């Protein structure tokens, strides 16, 4: 299991605490410091059943207001600007979800 975590985010801290409280073994990926590759993000999006614009943080300065819905362009932009990726994402084998 892996959690894409931002320690400054309260939702992310709460999700990490829940995993700790449940005694779950996981790998913590601070995705702002260790951004996913385009292939990794594409894979996680597939597991989520989402398109990149569906998990983008719209209030971030890097949010592409005029970018067409081209999956590859969005993925490249999100990898270059990982703060756009909604958090936290928990990946468990062939499943993933965004903790709310």
DSSP 6-17: -TT-HHHHHHHH
74 is catalytic: no
- Which helix (DSSP H) or strand (DSSP E) does residue 84 occupy? none
Give the active site residue among 2, 4, 6, 9: 9
Dihedral of the CA atoms 9, 58, 39, 51 (nearest 10)?
Answer: 120
Which of the residues are catalytic? 9
């Amino acid at each position: 299991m892996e959690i894409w975590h931002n320690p400054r985010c309260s939702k992310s801290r709460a999700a990490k605490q829940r995993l700790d409280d449940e005694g779950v073994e996981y790998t913590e990926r601070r995705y702002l410091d260790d951004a996913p590759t385009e292939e990794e993000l594409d894979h996680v999006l597939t597991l989520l059943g989402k398109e990149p614009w569906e998990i983008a943080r719209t209030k971030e300065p890097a949010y592409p207001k005029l970018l067409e819905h081209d999956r590859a362009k969005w993925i490249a932009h999100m990898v270059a600007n990982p703060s756009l990726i909604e958090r936290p994402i928990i990946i468990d084998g062939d499943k993933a979800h965004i903790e709310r």
